[in-house]
Every structure is written in C-alpha cells, then in structure tokens.
Amino acid sequence: ACGQNNNTPDAGNNGNGSVPANNNANASGGNSEATGTLADAQKKGSVTIGFANENPYAYKDADGKLTGEAVEIARVILERLGIKEMKGELTEFTSLIAGLQAKRFDMITAGMFINPKRCEAVLFANPEYSIGAAIAVKQGNPLKLTSYKSIADNAKAKVAVMAGAVELDYLKASGIPDNQMIIVPDQDAAISALQSGRVDAMTMTGPALQSRLDSAKDSNLERVMDFEQPLVDGKEVTGYGATAFRPDDTSFQEAYNAELEKMKESGELLEILKQFGFTEQELPGDMTSSQLCEG
Ligand SMILES: CC1=N[C@H](C(=O)O)[C@@H](O)CN1
C-alpha cells in the first residue's frame, strides 16, 4: 500500500537510456517560464520521490507516514516551490538511480551520498548532512572487530552490507574478499543476518545502524563504539547525503539548492536534522555537490 501511483511506463524512452534534452531550461536570461520536471510538478501540485525505507533518512513510520530527514527537508523545500504533495515510491537502495532514470519517480530522497560515480548518472543537490560509517556485532564483540581492516584480517569474519551502498566499496577497498560479505537488499535484512548468526557484523551509516539497534532492542547485539572509520586512498571517508534529480533537471536542482541554502542559514535545516537524531556535528558546512562530484 505504498503510493504506487506513478507507475506508467516511460513512453518517451525507447530503451536507449536517453531522455529528451531540456533545452529551454536556461533560455534567454531571466523571465523564461520554468520547464521540465519542476514545472510539471508545480502544475500537478505533487511529485513522486524514490526512497529505500532506511530510517532515519527516508522511511514509513508506524502510522504509514512517509518521513525521515531527507523527506522532511524535501517536504519544506517542495512546499516553498509550490508543490504541496509528495508521493513515495519504495525501491531497493540499489535500484534508486535506475528508477529515477526510468522516470518511476522524479527525485531520489534517500540521503544518498554524493560521489563521482553517481554524479555521472544523476544531478545532486547540495548536501544536507555528513556522516561516517558504523558496525554492530554480537554482544561482547567475540571477534574483536573494530574496523573494516580487522574484518579483512580474520578470514572467518563475515559482514552484512546493503546492495548498492558505498560501504560495499569501502569494504572492498579495505581488502575484504567477496566470500566474507553478505549483500542484503535493505537494512532490516542486515540486522536479521546478524541476529541469526549468518554474519558476525553489519555495517551501515551510524544513524541507520543506531536506528536498527534501537528498534530491535536485542541485548545480544552491540554497536562497536571504538570503530575506526575506513580509509580510502589513505583518507578517512565521510559521506555527504543529498537529494538527486535527473541530469536534465537543472532548473529543479537550482531552485532546490536555493531553498536549501536558506534553510542552512536560518538554522531550519539543523532543526529538522535534530528530529532524526543528528547533531550540529553532522551539518554539511559549505560543502557542495560540485566539489564532491570531482572526488
Ligand atoms: C544514506 C545512505 N548512504 C549510503 C550510500 O549513499 O551509499 C549507504 O549507507 C546507504 N544509505
């Protein structure tokens, strides 16, 4: 029962993956009417977003309401752009980009991290927050796992990670072979794998991991508090999450960024983040999507 109301096949796309270019987006300086997805959404008063049911980024709460930090930030911005209604299209995290390209939805609102690979396929707004990775293990941490490297160093240790997540790349970069990784479709499946003993650890962003532990209330599991952040090319990695649009939707992205910037300056962004367990430390500062797309 999750808002499957925009499931029409993409008639304009004949399978070659190309979308008609939006040549009018920046036509003749200034007073041109908005075109493309933004204008369509403004006309309809609604937009469909893709999300992966990952608490606290974008998920349905106990009452079935679509919420999360990414969703609530988008809700405010969309309202200010004249779009009152947000419809959610639940999609596995690993299929979000394909779903956006296929026009099953018009934005990805899942707290997805900006990185150069993804920037080839989508147009990111500026980041909403920044965060690191975390792991959880069995109570007492029997294998003494405190980093991805420590998992790589123990051939018997297995770790659950969500398909399509950046953590999968970080695990590989830390030297963990495929046979030590169990790839799961979503974060609920990750904690199930840990509870059932199929894996010795699960990894995801700190807030997602904490939310899974909080809702499981399982005294047989614990978060590794002295976890060392993974290094990629010798650098500690930090994820910056943002809303994503199709590459043609530059006017949508620009309008979105302008509203986001105001929310950063007024403190409204932090207020929303706080409702989902984030603190001032997780504010994105003045980091931009262009910087992050360059790598
Ligand atoms: C919010 C989020 N960020 C990571 C990513 O973007 O791949 C993954 O951990 C999946 N979820």
Count the Cβ atoms, other than its own, within 10 Å of residue 234. 5
Question: What's the pLDDT at 234?
Answer: 87
Ligand 1 close to Cβ of residue 204 (< 6 A): yes
In tens digits, the chain (295 residues) has pLDDT values of 333 333 333 333 333 333 433 333 443 344 445 569 999 999 999 999 999 999 999 999 999 999 999 999 999 999 999 999 999 999 999 999 999 999 999 999 999 999 999 999 999 999 999 999 999 999 999 999 999 999 999 999 999 999 999 999 999 999 999 999 999 999 999 999 999 999 999 999 999 999 999 999 999 999 999 999 998 888 898 999 999 999 999 999 999 999 999 999 999 999 999 999 999 999 999 999 999 999 8
Q: Residue 243's closest CA among 224, 257, 262?
A: 257
Ligand 1 close to Cβ of residue 276 (< 6 A): no
Cβ distance 126 to 261 under 8 Å? yes
Interatomic CA distance for residues 200 and 187, integer angstroms:
15
Ligand 1 close to Cβ of residue 170 (< 6 A): no
Q: How far is the CA of 5 from the centre of ligand 1 (A)?
A: 26
The pTM (predicted TM-score) of the whole model is 0.88
Q: Residue 282's closest CA among 152, 131, 88?
A: 131
Atom 4 of ligand 1, residue of closest alpha carbon: 165
Atom 11 of ligand 1, residue of closest alpha carbon: 112
Q: How far is the CA of 147 from the centre of ligand 1 (A)?
A: 18
Interatomic CA distance for residues 60 and 182, integer angstroms:
25
User: For residue 123, how many C-alpha atoms fall within 13 Å in the half-sphere facing its CB?
Assistant: 15
Atom of ligand 1 nearest to the CA of 166: 7
ipTM value: 1.00
Which long-range CB contacts under 8 A does 209-216 form with residues at least 24 apart? Answer: 209/134, 209/135, 209/136, 210/134, 210/277, 211/55, 211/56, 211/277, 212/55, 212/136, 212/187, 212/188, 213/136, 215/55, 216/191
